[in-house]
């Protein structure tokens, strides 16, 4: 015999799970324009082949979930809010399902993942029928689309886009026709999942690079040197900005002007001089030296008119250096003064968690790691936050493979409560080992070679035809952003106090205090939707 259950998007069905241990639901709700996800898992007591049919496919996309191995599933310091901290395989790869067959292995669950979207309010009932030739199962899924449009949030969600990884995986050169096609496909996917900004490589990003090492050149700004100094070409940058606009990006985050973890050097910058294309700045360059400052001064005079011409001067963000620590404060301050003197009219953002950087006025828009965010809340206007390879303990949100999905989804409620205006993550598609020493296959290596907790480096896999394959974690991350927007909808209708009343009806929520419950998260969102529906009845 075989059986099936309907699950929320948060379920991570492990190979050893039995279906009766899972939280099952058949009724869902969403707002208009929202993307609602759910799953159906099947299991058989023998090897089996199952055909399935769907009564109404309008607005419905179908995927089959594949598993990703995790060698470094959790660090020694990790808390206990994980599915397991042992190495294993985890459900994550969402392969588009183009046929109507499922292969079931004895006692092993197989899972279909569904994504539904509609701009038409009302109730929908969809029948999912499964047959193995002798038995037939039917699951009825009810979806209530509330007659209220999911609002757009005043919120920036940015991820770091590693286009050199695309080049290495697919085997094309930067700025070839294939490159631009691939970049556009990956940008579209980001936009479809609530990411409205991706790192723009003015110059090859000075990120995750071994000291003295280099990553493939992907700089968008062309540089020439002649007897009159520096000359710049911005055709590639203009093309990139137009591509971003076309795909739905509405914030423009430019790569760092100084190296990571201390701001001691310049990023790799290539230029043509006397017919030779060569590196003119890099690890050998003093970040505050006269030659590099002269270059940045010339660049600022040419770049700013381009941003204005493209109409993005009011939504552009610049970086000094990534993740400086307390010991770097003096050096960072020197570099920050240089950049602010040249680009002071733009927002300067950096991931850093030492409050002194802000207290001393060295950075106006710090982005603390989420476990440090409490120090900044209420003290920094328009606060952004981030998480990455940490935190691993303290029950803070993250999206590692070995974590339950509710640990990813709860972030949306926290973003709303604290009125957070932005979120940053470094790993959209980092398919390298640590410090970019070697290419990895993300379907086989999810931890950059035992460097980062599995899943941290990426939320998309390389697919065919220069198109990404989404991770389950990316869908759940979008869910969390939609939860935040649903609370903003409720606030617009009934006020912040009412929205907070329903959010915290079961107790206070902080960055690391919240119910560890898939049911709680699902039912909380249903309650928000129901209240919106009740308050907006004509």
Neighbouring residues of 342: CB distance < 8 A, sequence distance ≥ 6: 296, 297, 300
Count of beta carbons in the 10 Å neighbourhood of residue 367: 24
Task: Please give the Cα distance from 442 to 459 (Å, whole number).
Answer: 10
Strands 122-131 and 136-149: antiparallel
Task: Please give the Cα distance from 10 to 476 (Å, whole number).
Answer: 7
Secondary element (H or E) of residue 412: helix 411-417
Domain boundaries, the chain: 2-151+489-535, 156-470
Q: What is the mean pLDDT of the chain?
A: 97
Mean predicted confidence (pLDDT) in 225-242: 97
**Residue range 6-46, pLDDT digits in tens:** 999 999 999 999 999 999 999 999 999 999 999 999 999 99
- Position of tokens 């339950």? 404
Secondary element (H or E) of residue 133: none
- Position of tokens 């990703």? 68
The length of the chain in residues reads 538
Mean predicted confidence (pLDDT) in 101-121: 97
Under 8 Å between Cβ of 257 and 335: yes
Task: Please give the Cα distance from 280 to 284 (Å, whole number).
Answer: 9
State residue 26's pLDDT score. 98
Mean predicted confidence (pLDDT) in 150-172: 98
- Position of tokens 């979008």? 478
| CA atoms 98, 99, 100, 101: torsion sign | negative
**Residue 311 binned pLDDT confidence (cut-offs 50, 70, 90):** very high
- Position of tokens 């389950």? 472
Neighbouring residues of 121: CB distance < 8 A, sequence distance ≥ 6: 32, 145, 146, 147, 148
CA angle 410, 412, 417 (to 5 degrees): 100
**Residue 538 binned pLDDT confidence (cut-offs 50, 70, 90):** low
Using the 8-state DSSP alphabet, how is residue 19 labeled?
G
**Residue 370 binned pLDDT confidence (cut-offs 50, 70, 90):** very high
- Position of tokens 């948060």? 10
Between 133 and 130, whose confidence is greater? 130
Percentage, residues of the chain above pLDDT 70: 100
Mean predicted confidence (pLDDT) in 335-346: 98
**Residue range 162-181, pLDDT digits in tens:** 999 999 999 999 999 999 99
DSSP reduced 3-state for 463: coil
Mean predicted confidence (pLDDT) in 430-436: 98
DSSP reduced 3-state for 330: helix
**Residue range 257-287, pLDDT digits in tens:** 999 999 999 999 999 999 999 999 999 999 9
Neighbouring residues of 207: CB distance < 8 A, sequence distance ≥ 6: 160, 255, 256, 260, 322, 426
Neighbouring residues of 396: CB distance < 8 A, sequence distance ≥ 6: 370, 371, 387, 511, 512
Instruction: Tell the CATH topology of 156-470.
Output: TIM Barrel (3.20.20)
Q: Selecting from 2.40.110.10, 2.60.40.2310, 3.30.565.10, 2.60.120.380, what CATH number does the domain 2-151+489-535 have?
A: 2.60.40.2310
Count of beta carbons in the 10 Å neighbourhood of residue 527: 15
State residue 1's pLDDT score. 84
Residue 477 scores a pLDDT above 90: yes
Neighbouring residues of 479: CB distance < 8 A, sequence distance ≥ 6: 9, 10, 37, 409, 412
Say how many CA atoms lie within 13 Å of 230 toward its Cβ: 22
Neighbouring residues of 116: CB distance < 8 A, sequence distance ≥ 6: 30, 35, 36, 37, 38, 59, 60, 61, 143
Task: Please give the Cα distance from 207 to 199 (Å, whole number).
Answer: 11
State residue 457's pLDDT score. 98
- Beta bridge partner(s), residue 439: 432
Q: What is the radius of gyration, based on Cα positions, of the chain?
A: 24
Whether the bond into 391 is cis, omega within 30 of 0: yes
Percentage, residues of the chain above pLDDT 90: 99
Neighbouring residues of 66: CB distance < 8 A, sequence distance ≥ 6: 91, 92, 93, 94, 95
Residue 452 CA from chain centroid, whole number: 16
Under 8 Å between Cβ of 126 and 60: yes
**Residue 387 binned pLDDT confidence (cut-offs 50, 70, 90):** very high
């Amino acid at each position: 015999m075989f059986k099936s259950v309907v699950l929320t998007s948060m379920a991570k069905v492990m190979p050893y799970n039995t279906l009766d241990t899972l939280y099952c639901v058949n009724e869902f709700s969403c707002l208009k324009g929202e993307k609602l996800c759910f799953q159906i898992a099947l299991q058989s007591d023998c090897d089996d082949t199952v055909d399935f049919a769907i009564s109404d496919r309008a607005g419905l996309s179908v995927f089959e979930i594949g598993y990703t191995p995790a060698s470094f599933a959790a660090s020694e310091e990790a808390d206990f809010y994980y599915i397991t901290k042992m190495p294993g395989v985890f459900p994550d790869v969402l392969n588009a399902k183009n046929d109507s067959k499922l292969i079931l292995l004895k006692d092993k669950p197989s899972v279909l993942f569904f994504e539904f979207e509609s701009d038409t309010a009302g109730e929908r009932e969809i029948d999912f029928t499964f047959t193995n030739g002798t038995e037939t199962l039917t699951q009825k899924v009810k979806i209530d689309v509330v007659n209220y449009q999911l609002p757009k949030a005043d919120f920036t969600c940015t991820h770091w886009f590693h286009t050199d990884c695309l080049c290495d995986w697919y085997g094309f050169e930067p700025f070839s026709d294939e490159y631009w096609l691939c970049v556009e496909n990956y940008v579209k996917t980001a936009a479809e999942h609530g990411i409205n900004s991706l790192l723009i490589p003015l110059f090859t990003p000075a990120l995750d690079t071994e000291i003295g090492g280099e990553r493939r050149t992907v700089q968008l700004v062309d540089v020439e040197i002649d007897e009159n100094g520096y000359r710049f070409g911005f055709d590639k940058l203009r093309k990139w900005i137009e591509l971003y606009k076309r795909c739905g990006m509405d914030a423009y985050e430019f790569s760092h002007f100084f190296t990571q973890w201390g701001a001691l050097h310049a990023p790799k910058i290539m230029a043509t001089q006397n017919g030779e294309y060569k590196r003119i700045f890099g690890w050998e360059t003093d970040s505050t030296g006269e030659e590099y400052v002269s270059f940045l001064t010339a660049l600022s005079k040419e770049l700013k008119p381009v941003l204005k011409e493209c109409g993005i001067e009011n939504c552009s963000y610049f970086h000094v250096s990534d993740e400086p620590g307390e010991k770097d404060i003096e050096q960072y301050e020197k570099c920050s003064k240089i950049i602010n003197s040249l680009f002071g009219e733009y927002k300067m953002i950096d991931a850093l968690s030492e409050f002194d950087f802000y207290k001393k006025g060295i950075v106006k828009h710090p982005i603390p790691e989420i476990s440090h965010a409490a120090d900044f809340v209420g003290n920094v206007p328009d606060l952004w936050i981030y998480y990455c390879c940490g935190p691993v303990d303290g029950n803070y949100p993250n999206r590692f493979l070995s974590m339950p999905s509710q640990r990813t989804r709860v972030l949306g409620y926290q973003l709303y409560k604290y009125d957070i205006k932005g979120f940053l993550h470094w790993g959209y598609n980092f398919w390298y080992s640590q410090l970019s020493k070697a290419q990895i296959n993300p379907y086989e290596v999810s931890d950059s070679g035992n460097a980062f907790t599995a899943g941290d480096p990426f939320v998309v896999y390389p697919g065919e035809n220069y198109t990404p394959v989404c991770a389950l974690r990316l869908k759940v991350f979008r869910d969390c952003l939609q939860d935040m927007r649903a609370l903003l909808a409720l606030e617009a209708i009934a006020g912040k106090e009412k929205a907070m009343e329903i959010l915290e009806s079961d107790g206070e929520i902080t960055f690391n205090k919240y119910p560890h419950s898939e049911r709680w998260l699902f039912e909380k969102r249903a309650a928000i939707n129901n209240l919106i529906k009740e308050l907006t009845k004509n």
